[in-house]
Chains A and B, each alone.
Chain A
């Protein structure tokens, strides 16, 4: 039956080269392709080591306590993101009470290492204990997941969050005893004590770098541990659960138990993060564990790519830095324009369209500014407020009135949101044409509405990011593109 020539040439369906043809075609041409290929072959622990090394060197490069504190906070965010990744990314569960486990860890540490109940256990005990407590409570909270479908489980976790908030906020009078200190929290919490020695929180008023290293150490341990679990029987079961929970159950995998495990692991990691923060702050307050924090961590995970550990770490860093930059109006303005330009470059590459859009927006703005200024001086008399060269330049382009009429804020903001949404519906040159005034309006809204109010601005951006990533690129930055058969 075999033809004499059958051995020569690719044998469709049987030849490995043919099978890999798709991958070969996807590879980018030339230097970029080779670089990408090489990078993809770098082992994960090399990336981790490199990253850890950079963070370790950070305090040497930056002496300021401010930078070190930001680094610490970012590492905490990274830990929280890793934990949520286990629950959402690997277990596929919507845990809206995740922040409560963060709080459980914090309060447990405070209970065990403070004057509150006069218990002063060493950190080598309290931290693992807090993790265990977090994990156990995670198991308990996850128990209803056996009987409830995804959306309902979200409500149960929210319920747990509500219990946590109520108990911590009203805990100064729980059946007559002061358990959690209520809104005043618990203060005078011991700092970390390792190997018998206490680590002072600050030396000469400067943040003690040792805390950054401890947090970093915890991060590395958790990252590696989770990766080892992911590459094992349990990780395989979690992946199967994600793919098709019913098939997984019928192939002998105890789906409910696996979900519980994911819950518990995530909770334990969150609790760990809670202990570290509490030790550094020397106190714990219920106000630290609010809903916006939950959304922040969710955005980190979704942006980075749920299911990918490296991804959520990247997401955590990006969002953490973003939030920090948004605190300072001067920096925030700089960030806005930089990101805006980068975004345009990414969208249009170096092309005629880019020139058209950039030039058009510039011209449009200058004209608008001139017109507004000529109608009424006060309309463009507002200062950039916070100095900096960029502020001075911007004021000449963006219309910044001296006094903003009350109606301008909502109208311009709603107008911007509507225009942006409409833009997603258009194509071709109409889209470019509408893009120009929209960009200018964005700058206007940024200067006049958002910069003056950093607090709601940061959350508006987070909320918008969350929706945008889910809709446009659900795999996030580093998540795997999944094939779903509907």
Chain B
């Protein structure tokens, strides 16, 4: 029973991170119909920016600001940095290919992904970076918390899950309640029609990238608070985020959240009950099954194309 609770907790935490990544994928795919392979590497860059910010603020053993402020600043730094990165990627690697055949921006995305991963490796080496969150405030993030049965629920996990949730709610509000959000939804339905209605497509697309990349940056920080990060984790992380998006229904925000959680649980339980070696493969199996059997995911609508 305890294992079950622990694994559920793992699933929730993992799932929150995946959901944030999935949202970025979903936003961009909904508007551009582009699989942004570089998204996972933006996530990875976010974790590195967070690390850098952490060091600038004194490191985890001797921060110059209280812990809660530290976490906020680090996350904001990652979100801001990733937003800029996302805008740059869109502007230089995808926008010129907007009217090219579908395969072209995909290849470009591959190139960007590769470039990012190895640029980080070039600048910072291939060793892992550990936020060492345990040292923060004498381990307060881990020691404070509550218990469910025999399982400890540390404060850190609570923070991660809650902040992810808050971010998702903010995003949902943005997309449904604001004008820009409406513009985004219109563009994802029919780009040409939206343009003819006076919507500035370029701005909408940039906005989508800003949001998606910022969320990925936040996810990067949340991930790295609990596990070491390295230059090479980007691609597979992005793929998992994409899987989550497909499960939930690509283009759907509540879908991305649900998909992220489902994937998080699936991975946690596989790692716990079967083995870690096959969990990556499992992710793929889930992805392929959904793509073949139910491509619109759980919450998406079946795509009707009129010829």
Contacts and interface: CB of A to CB of B under 8 A. Distances in A.
A272 interface: no
Given A162-B280, A471-B92, A463 B291 contact: no
Interface in A111-168: 144, 147-152, 154-156, 158-159, 162-163, 166
A261 interface: no
Interface residue tally on A, bucketed by range: 35 or more
A457 B123 CA distance: 10
B278 A166 contact: yes
Given A154-B35, A471-B93, A463 B111 contact: yes
A232 to B, nearest CB: 24
Given A159-B288, A484-B100, A464 B111 contact: yes
Nearest to A292: B114
A176 B111 CA distance: 40
B270 to A, nearest CB: 13
Nearest to B93: A467
Given A92-B103, A463-B115, A467-B112, A450 B97 contact: no
A406 to B, nearest CB: 9
A351 interface: no
Given A150-B106, A467-B93, A484-B101, A291 B235 contact: yes
A150 B102 contact: yes
Nearest to A163: B281
A276 interface: no
B163 interface: no
A421 B102 CA distance: 24
Contacts of A464: 111, 115
Nearest to A413: B123
A421 B88 contact: yes
A286 interface: no
Given A410-B123, A467-B93, A155 B242 contact: yes
B119 interface: yes
B292 interface: yes
A150 B278 CA distance: 27
Contacts of B172: none
B26 to A, nearest CB: 14
Contacts of A424: 92
A449 B108 CA distance: 25
Contact of B114 (A414, A457, A462): A462
Contacts, number: 135
Interface in A267-308: 291-292, 295, 298-299, 302
Nearest to A148: B291
A181 interface: no
Contact of B288 (A93, A155, A166): A155
B122 A470 contact: no
Interface in B1-24: none
A252 to B, nearest CB: 17
B205 to A, nearest CB: 16
A418 B89 CA distance: 11
Nearest to B281: A166
B115 A147 contact: no
Given A94-B107, A166-B280, A413 B295 contact: no
Nearest to B283: A162
Contacts of B33: 151
Interface in B73-106: 88, 92-93, 96-97, 99-106
B284 A470 contact: no
B307 A246 contact: yes
Nearest to A407: B52
A240 to B, nearest CB: 15
A349 interface: no
A94 B121 CA distance: 27
A295 B117 CA distance: 13
Given A298-B110, A467-B112, A456 B122 contact: yes
Given A154-B106, A166-B278, A466-B111, 4 more contacts: A94-B103, A148-B291, A463-B115, A470-B107
Closest 5 CB pairs of A and B: A463-B115, A466-B111, A463-B114, A467-B111, A459-B118
Interface of A: 88, 92-94, 96, 144, 147-152, 154-156, 158-159, 162-163, 166, 170, 246, 291-292, 295, 298-299, 302, 409-410, 413-414, 417-418, 421, 424, 449-450, 453, 456-457, 459-460, 462-467, 470-471, 474, 484, 486
Interface of B: 33-35, 88, 92-93, 96-97, 99-108, 110-119, 121-124, 126, 235, 239, 242, 277-278, 280-281, 284-285, 287-288, 291-292, 295, 307
22 contacts: A88-B103, A93-B103, A94-B107, A150-B102, A151-B35, A152-B291, A154-B35, A295-B114, A413-B123, A418-B88, A449-B123, A453-B122, A456-B119, A456-B122, A456-B126, A459-B118, A463-B113, A466-B108, A466-B115, A467-B92, A471-B97, A484-B101
